[in-house]
Amino acid sequence: MTNLIDGRAVAEQIHAETAQRIAALKGRGVQAGLAFVRVGEDPASRVYVGMKEKTSDRLGLKSTTTVLPTATTQAELLTLIARLNNDAAVHGILVQAPLPAHIDQAVIFAAVSPAKDVDGFHPVNVGKLMLGDTTGFIPCTPAGVHELLIRSGVKITGAEVVVLGRGNIVGKPMTAILCQKARYADATVTLCHSRTRDVGAHCRRADIIIAAMGVAHFVTADMVRPGAVVMDVGVNRIADPTSKSGSRLVGDVDFAAVQPIAGRITPNPGGVGPMTIAMLMRNTVQAAELATR
């Protein structure tokens, strides 16, 4: 039997549930709406927003995308966000990161109404997650990893989990999700980062490793205890002279070496990525339901 965790298949299950909720809203005259904002022409952001738009269409969400030039000022972006905050047809707002360097990302995320913050990046939602208050929105990638663990039957309660990477988008919220006193949580979580002394020693103790540090093939076979569950969040572009484009995308895990040892493992692509979009769609329908109760 394969040890692969099929994120695409699980994401499709969730999409089916979300599409039903979107249809139910339509049945009572509500068209759920999601606004994307992209600033500049970062190639990866173009691809990500394009994929999210396509999935929105497929599920029956009405999405709108505003693309602003790189030279857009912070004040101009704040004006757009204020307009979207006040637009009753918009239930969710997603400002794609990274933003150009002259814009303070934290200021932008804090300007999105917490009720429309389907990214879960507003300080109110970050605080709710930390407090175990389940009325907020949880960032889509760590929420997707969590849901994938749950739906794959991985035991989280009491597990030793190592999270690699302390970013605000994945590592920190992932840690907060798994350490809560709650069903499908109650884990002992170790957060490792670039200044951790012996990452391998921490990893070898782990029942579950969640790799989100953004270093290609960082997790090698010697770091994984036989039978451990390995979730690969990384998206790294590396040179590949054999490919037409001269490069290819790989995860934070040396998949070929780790798969034979791992109990369960996410492929990459096809693991965590599809789950991120599934959580975004679910957060958006939730926002629309709450706004129109």
Give the residue numbers annotated as catalytic, written as ranges: 52, 96, 119
- According to CB under 6 A, which one of 4, 78, 97, 130 is a site residue for ligand GUN? 97
3-state secondary structure of 168: coil
Q: Smallest distance, Å, CB 97 to ligand GUN?
A: 4
Please say which residue, 16 or 44, places its beta carbon nearer to ligand GUN. Answer: 44
Q: Smallest distance, Å, CB 39 to ligand GUN?
A: 11
Query: Looking at this protein, which amino acid is placed at residue 252?
Result: D
Distance CA 15, CA 186 (A): 27
Residue 147 lies near ligand GUN (rule: CB under 6 A): no
- The site string for ligand GUN over 202-231 (x = CB under 6 A, - otherwise) reads ------------------------------
Residue 235 lies near ligand GUN (rule: CB under 6 A): no
Write down the residue that tokens 């350490």 correspond to: 179
- According to CB under 6 A, which one of 34, 59, 94, 287 is a site residue for ligand GUN? 94
Please say which residue, 259 or 276, places its beta carbon nearer to ligand GUN. Answer: 276
C-alpha angle with apex 72: 69 to 78, nearest 5 degrees? 125
Residue 84 lies near ligand GUN (rule: CB under 6 A): no
Size of the residue set binding ligand GUN (CB under 6 A): 8
Query: Looking at this protein, which amino acid is placed at residue 43?
Result: P
Whole-number Cα distances in Å, 276 to 52, 144, 146, 183: 10, 5, 11, 21
Please say which residue, 95 or 206, places its beta carbon nearer to ligand GUN. Answer: 95
Rg value, the chain, Cα: 19
Please say which residue, 140 or 174, places its beta carbon nearer to ligand GUN. Answer: 140
What's the sign of the alpha-carbon dihedral 25, 28, 31, 33?
A: negative
Query: Looking at this protein, which amino acid is placed at residue 239?
Result: A
- According to CB under 6 A, which one of 55, 63, 125, 141 is a site residue for ligand GUN? 141
- Asked, as a colleague might, if the bond just before 100 is cis with ω within 30 of 0, I would say no
Residue 140 lies near ligand GUN (rule: CB under 6 A): yes
Which residues on adjacent β-strands are paired with residue 189? 161
- Residue 218 near residue 241, CB atoms below 8 Å: no
Interface with ligand GUN (CB under 6 A): 94-97, 119, 140-141, 169
